[in-house]
């Protein structure tokens, strides 16, 4: 293959594969097509499959397709599906395939069928071209060859036609022998080497939207522009120049870019150069045999050995992980105010992403990053990069040399930094208040406390979030208050009414263009905060029920005024009237979004930092575009009888149950897809289900109308109602006179029985209700007083052992339900008895309180920390990539060990040992135990090994394997 200039695309994308577990029993695909209803069809070496919902349904011998190997699929202008095998050509009639003609019509490869206008098809039988009428199934199909025997004798290349494509105005292009042929109005033109066509077999021909003809052969890809006289070589760059392609699919996306398969992945032509999507983009597909685009603009990729692949969010999403060069895939903070470059703070240092060429540059030249997780990052007006870490460091990074200087350190975590309108940086800390860094006045600034803020807030205040208002004032969220800096004056406004901050801890705020604020809290939100005089009012924005229990981690307002919420279930968007959800099923790299990772870029794109990389939503303005949703009835069957949705269905009363299958080709947010159906004539209420089939049995005779529609909350979409009518004939003994008599007698008897039974039930219910009210009042009174005593540890204020056991059981259930990981950690203070013996039990109590506080600061808002007993503590970490478990445990141990304790003139330090056990939720329910005591025992064994190995260390033990001393 000839090498041309091109570039490697360095982004990470989201792909979803459909293989055996999705119903695709054979993963060797030959072609991919979409029908007019939006369903994807694939031809494989074991029949034809159609994707219905999340599963592929096979059509084989039972559905009229006796041969296993299907080499070609074609959807004609009328929407009819044609399937070609080496033995015959078949046509789909709505519920089964039937031979297209009265004699066999072998199809020997892909792209052997084409539409000629709207009324006729062209098909290559073996190696000869025929014109066929799709409405004519009574003839052999051989009555209308395109070329006469005389034409074939005059042009020997017509003896071997491989692939065809036709235009609406009568042009036919063919791969013929080792040339490309054009036929129009009885005239044949052969395009050979003199016209830029290498002497090789040609497998695929394709017309793009501009009228250019693309042709792929064994070694080359060519383009013929409209009216051109010579083909241009457009062969993509390749590392294997001598590759031979037996299938080289070509397709075009909505932006007019050409996509072709190649040895490393997919090549994409933008009119000027090729970009290559390959292994570093998480593309591991092997041999690609087909590319087709769905109604959303996403490509679906058929492969010869990996099944069917959906490229999710193709037009709108891109991402970066450690595969593209980030120091770590765990992203904590993002600074996207630069139009061309974005800064990213990760677990292992900062990086810069160049949006122009999608490259990643690690900013620090240090061979080892020892400063902790980068909680905040910003580039000042002089081009210097500043970063804060959860370990309490403030860093300056030279973007040119990579030199990293620590200019300050406190003994508490920094939650991030905020640049104000003057270019100053405000540093937010845990229980140490605010610090100021002013690079505008000094080339080597120091971090300074802010005594004015401390005077207002008091000592030991935590500042978790901040934003800059349009008037230049800065708002800070603290544990239980909002703090404002305006024109050099600090104040804490009061809330009117019940108040937002009663029993509420804010974790994220955003400043709106109208001067109001939006905020999220650990257990509620979002809140809309508005000024009323000198005071504030807070109004809770109701969220859809399906997301109301989400943990809100971040908030951002874009230039449209739309609100974006980071959650543990993905990215929520609200435009003032509608909600949308974006998650891994939409193109997001990971659903768990970091607190400082949600920002709008200066170009209007949205950046989302997650624990599995950073995603970029390129076109947020399309977030609320209407996504068409519709339902098709895909099967109607009673016993062996199969019916088409459009036909009159008349059935005898007695017989097997009636099965109705339906599906909506929703390609995004499939887990949010819900069906609603009812049977008019039986019940007017709607039944809600995630299943795509229902069985109707024991129906009385009569006229019925089955109706179904679909909803998708994540897409804010509702489909029209689709229906089918059917009639059940009554038996003779259910004629009107007999039925009338039986109904009258039955009604009379039923009324009497119901009257007596109702009277007795009402009396019993009255007694039971009185007894329940009495017992309920007593129980509520006692439970309310015991609730706090039963779930909290009085010394540290953390949940006690009982509460943590309950949390562990709930997290195990969540891990099994969401197929995510869970780490259970037992932490023990080393030589705690010596502390009590040396400094006294009160000093030991103080050590326990400060150790508990340090543990709580390192945990995320949805993690759990509690006192397990004595000097032992229990930590539950959930929803993170399982491959980062070792790093997460190391970071936790580094943050809490060697803690300095001061008490009544004595200063001493404590170390700790950690024992951890991790469980993979994907394995729960398939043999792995869900017993919380077994998981605790595993963590306890790891803790025992940590102590036996010398203490002050952490040991990680996979729940199903041996421990690992780290």
Number of Cβ atoms within 10 Å of the Cβ of 962? 6
Do 181 and 230 lie in a common domain? Answer: yes
Residue 660 forms part of a structural domain? yes
Q: Tell me the C-alpha distance between 161 and 181, whole Å.
A: 9
Listed in sequence order, the residues at least 6 apart from 604 whose beta carbon sits closer than 8 Å to its beta carbon are 558, 559, 620, 621
Q: Tell me the C-alpha distance between 94 and 55, whole Å.
A: 19
- Evaluate the omega torsion of the peptide bond into residue 158 and state whether it is cis, within 30 degrees of 0: no
Tokens linked to 732:
């003779």
Do 24 and 98 lie in a common domain? Answer: yes
Number of Cβ atoms within 10 Å of the Cβ of 572? 24
Going by their DSSP bridges, the two strands 954-958 and 912-920 should be labelled as parallel
pLDDT of res. 48: 96
Residue 9 forms part of a structural domain? no
Q: Which residue has the tokens 């008897």?
A: 749
Q: Which residue has the tokens 């959860």?
A: 390
Q: Is 871 a catalytic residue?
A: yes
Residue 362 forms part of a structural domain? yes
Do 887 and 760 lie in a common domain? Answer: no
Do 233 and 380 lie in a common domain? Answer: no
Q: Tell me the C-alpha distance between 482 and 463, whole Å.
A: 9
The Cα-based distances of 411 to 431, 432, 538 in angstroms read 10, 9, 34
Domain count within the chain? 5
Query: Residue 870 belongs to a domain with what CATH number?
Result: 3.30.70.270
Torsion of CA 266, 267, 270, 272, to 10 degrees: 170
**What pTM value is reported for the model?**
0.74
Going by their DSSP bridges, the two strands 649-652 and 722-729 should be labelled as parallel
Helix, coil or strand: residue 671: helix
Give the side-chain half-sphere CA count within 13 A for 436: 17
Do 331 and 274 lie in a common domain? Answer: no
Among the listed residues 63, 871, 904, 930, the single catalytic one is 871
Indicate the residue among 283, 315, 347 that finishes a domain: 315
Query: Residue 717 belongs to a domain with what CATH number?
Result: 2.60.40.10
Residue 6 forms part of a structural domain? no
Do 617 and 672 lie in a common domain? Answer: no
Q: What is the mean pLDDT of each run of 10 residues along the chain (966 residues)?
A: 34 89 93 94 95 91 94 93 95 90 90 90 92 74 85 92 92 94 94 95 94 93 95 82 65 94 84 81 73 94 91 94 93 94 96 93 91 95 93 93 93 94 94 92 89 86 94 90 93 78 80 95 86 90 90 94 95 95 94 94 96 96 92 91 85 89 88 94 92 90 93 92 92 71 83 85 82 74 64 88 89 87 93 91 92 89 89 89 86 90 90 92 68 89 92 84 47
Helix, coil or strand: residue 488: coil
3-state secondary structure 429-479: ECCCCEEEECCCCCCCCCCEECHHHHHHHCCCCCEEEEEECCCCCEEEEEC
Range of the domain at 914: 801-958
Do 251 and 122 lie in a common domain? Answer: yes
Residue 5 forms part of a structural domain? no
Query: Residue 462 belongs to a domain with what CATH number?
Result: 2.130.10.10
Residue 965 forms part of a structural domain? no
Listed in sequence order, the residues at least 6 apart from 905 whose beta carbon sits closer than 8 Å to its beta carbon are none
Residue 169 forms part of a structural domain? yes
Do 678 and 769 lie in a common domain? Answer: no
Listed in sequence order, the residues at least 6 apart from 758 whose beta carbon sits closer than 8 Å to its beta carbon are none
pLDDT of res. 963: 44
pLDDT of res. 2: 26
Indicate the residue among 315, 345, 372 that finishes a domain: 315
Do 350 and 479 lie in a common domain? Answer: yes
Q: Tell me the C-alpha distance between 466 and 462, whole Å.
A: 12
> Tell me, what DSSP letter sits at residue 959?
T
Indicate the residue among 580, 599, 622 that finishes a domain: 622
Do 105 and 174 lie in a common domain? Answer: yes
Do 617 and 643 lie in a common domain? Answer: no
Residue 796 forms part of a structural domain? no
Q: Decide: residue 587, CB within 10 A, 0-12 exposed, 13-18 middle, 19+ buried.
A: buried
Which helix (H) or strand (E) element contains residue 782? Answer: helix 736-791
Listed in sequence order, the residues at least 6 apart from 899 whose beta carbon sits closer than 8 Å to its beta carbon are 850, 851, 854, 909, 910, 911, 912
Tokens linked to 602:
């200066």
Tokens linked to 812:
């195990």
Do 396 and 506 lie in a common domain? Answer: yes
Tokens linked to 377:
């990052």
């Amino acid at each position: 293959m000839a090498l041309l200039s091109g570039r490697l695309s360095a982004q990470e994308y989201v792909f979803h594969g459909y293989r055996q577990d999705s119903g695709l029993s054979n993963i060797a695909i030959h072609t991919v097509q979409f029908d007019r209803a939006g369903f994807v069809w694939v031809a494989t070496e074991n029949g034809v499959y159609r994707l219905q919902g999340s599963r592929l349904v096979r059509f084989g011998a039972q559905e009229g397709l006796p041969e296993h190997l299907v080499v070609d699929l074609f959807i004609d202008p009328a929407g009819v599906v044609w399937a070609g095998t080496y033995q015959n050509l078949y046509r789909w009639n709505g519920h089964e395939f039937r031979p297209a003609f009265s004699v066999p019509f072998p199809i020997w490869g892909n792209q052997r069928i084409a539409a000629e206008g709207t009324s006729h098809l062209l098909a290559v039988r073996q190696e000869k071209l025929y014109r066929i009428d799709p409405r004519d199934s009574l003839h052999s199909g051989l009555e209308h060859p395109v070329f006469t025997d005389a034409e074939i004798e005059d042009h020997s290349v017509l003896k071997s036609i491989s692939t065809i494509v036709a235009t609406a105005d009568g042009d036919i292009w063919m791969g013929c022998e080792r040339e490309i042929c054009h036929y129009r109005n009885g005239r044949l033109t052969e395009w050979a080497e003199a016209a830029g066509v290498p002497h090789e077999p040609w497998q695929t021909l394709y017309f793009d939207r501009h009228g250019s003809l693309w042709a792929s052969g064994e070694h080359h890809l060519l383009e013929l522009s409209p009216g051109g006289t010579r083909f241009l070589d457009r062969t993509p760059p390749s590392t294997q120049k001598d590759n031979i392609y037996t299938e080289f699919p070509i397709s075009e996306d909505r932006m007019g870019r050409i996509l072709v398969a190649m040895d490393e992945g997919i090549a994409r032509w933008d009119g000027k150069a090729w970009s290559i999507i390959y292994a570093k983009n998480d593309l591991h597909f092997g041999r690609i045999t087909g590319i087709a685009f769905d109604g959303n603009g996403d490509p679906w990729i058929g492969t010869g050995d990996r099944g069917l692949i959906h490229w999710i969010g193709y037009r709108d999403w891109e991402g970066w992980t450690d595969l593209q060069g980030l120091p770590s895939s765990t992203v904590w903070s993002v600074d996207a105010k630069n139009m061309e470059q974005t800064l990213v703070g990760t677990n292992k240092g900062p990086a810069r992403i160049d949006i122009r060429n999608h490259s990643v540059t690690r900013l620090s030249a240090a061979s080892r990053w020892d400063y902790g997780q980068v909680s905040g990052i910003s580039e000042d007006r002089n081009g210097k990069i500043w970063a804060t870490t959860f370990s309490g460091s403030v860093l300056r990074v030279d973007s040119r040399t990579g030199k990293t200087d620590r200019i300050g350190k406190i003994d508490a975590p920094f939650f991030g930094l905020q640049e104000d309108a003057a270019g100053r940086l405000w540093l937010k800390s845990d229980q140490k208040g605010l610090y100021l860094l002013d690079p505008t006045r000094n080339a080597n600034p120091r971090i300074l406390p802010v005594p004015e803020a401390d005077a207002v807030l008091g000592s030991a205040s935590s500042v978790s979030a901040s934003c800059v208002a349009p008037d230049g004032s800065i708002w800070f969220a603290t544990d239980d208050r909002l703090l404002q800096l305006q024109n050099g004056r600090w104040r804490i406004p009061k809330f009117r009414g019940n108040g937002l901050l009663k029993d509420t801890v804010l974790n994220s705020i955003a400043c709106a263009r109208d001067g109001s604020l939006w905020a999220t809290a650990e257990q509620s939100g979002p809140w809309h905060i508005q000024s009323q005089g000198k005071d504030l009012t807070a109004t809770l924005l109701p969220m859809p029920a399906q997301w109301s229990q989400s943990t809100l981690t971040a908030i951002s307002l874009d230039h449209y005024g739309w609100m974006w919420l980071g959650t543990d279930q993905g990215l929520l968007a609200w435009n003032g009237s509608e909600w949308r959800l974006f998650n891994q099923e939409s193109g997001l790299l990971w659903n768990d979004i970091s607190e400082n990772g949600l920002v709008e870029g200066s170009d209007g794109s949205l950046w989302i930092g997650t624990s599995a990389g950073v995603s970029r939503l390129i076109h947020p303005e399309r977030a609320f575009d209407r996504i068409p949703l519709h339902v098709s009835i895909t099967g109607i069957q009673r016993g062996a009888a199969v019916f088409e949705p459009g036909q009159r269905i008349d059935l005898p009363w007695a017989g097997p149950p009636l099965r109705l299958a339906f599906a909506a080709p929703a390609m995004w947010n499939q887990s949010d897809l819900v069906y609603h159906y009812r049977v008019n004539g039986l019940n007017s209420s709607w039944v809600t289900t995630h299943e795509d089939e229902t069985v109707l049995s024991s129906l009385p005779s009569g006229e019925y109308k089955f109706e179904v529609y679909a909803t998708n909350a994540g897409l804010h979409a509702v489909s029209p109602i689709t229906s089918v009518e059917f009639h059940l004939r009554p038996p003779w003994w259910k004629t009107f006179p007999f039925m009338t008599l039986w109904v009258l007698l039955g009604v009379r008897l039923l009324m009497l029985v119901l009257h007596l039974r109702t009277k007795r039930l009402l009396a019993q219910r009255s007694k039971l209700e009185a007894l329940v009210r009495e017992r309920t009042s007593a129980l509520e009174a006692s439970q309310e007083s015991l609730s706090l005593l039963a779930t909290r540890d009085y010394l540290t204020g953390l949940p006690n052992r009982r509460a943590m056991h309950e949390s562990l059981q709930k997290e195990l259930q969540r891990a099994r339900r969401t197929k995510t990981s869970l780490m259970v950690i037992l932490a023990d203070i080393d030589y705690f008895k010596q502390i009590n013996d040396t400094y006294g039990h009160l000093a030991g109590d103080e050590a326990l309180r400060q150790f508990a506080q340090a543990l709580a600061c390192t945990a995320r808002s949805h993690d759990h920390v509690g006192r397990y007993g004595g000097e032992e503590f229990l930590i539950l970490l959930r929803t993170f990539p399982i491959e980062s478990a070792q790093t997460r445990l190391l970071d936790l141990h580094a943050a809490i060990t060697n803690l300095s304790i001061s008490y009544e003139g004595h200063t001493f330090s404590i170390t700790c040992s950690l024992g951890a056990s991790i469980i993979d939720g994907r394995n729960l329910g398939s043999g792995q135990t869900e017993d919380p005591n077994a998981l605790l025992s595993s963590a306890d064994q790891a803790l025992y090994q940590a102590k036996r190995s010398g203490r002050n260390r952490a040991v990680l033990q996979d729940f199903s394997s041996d421990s690992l001393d780290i």
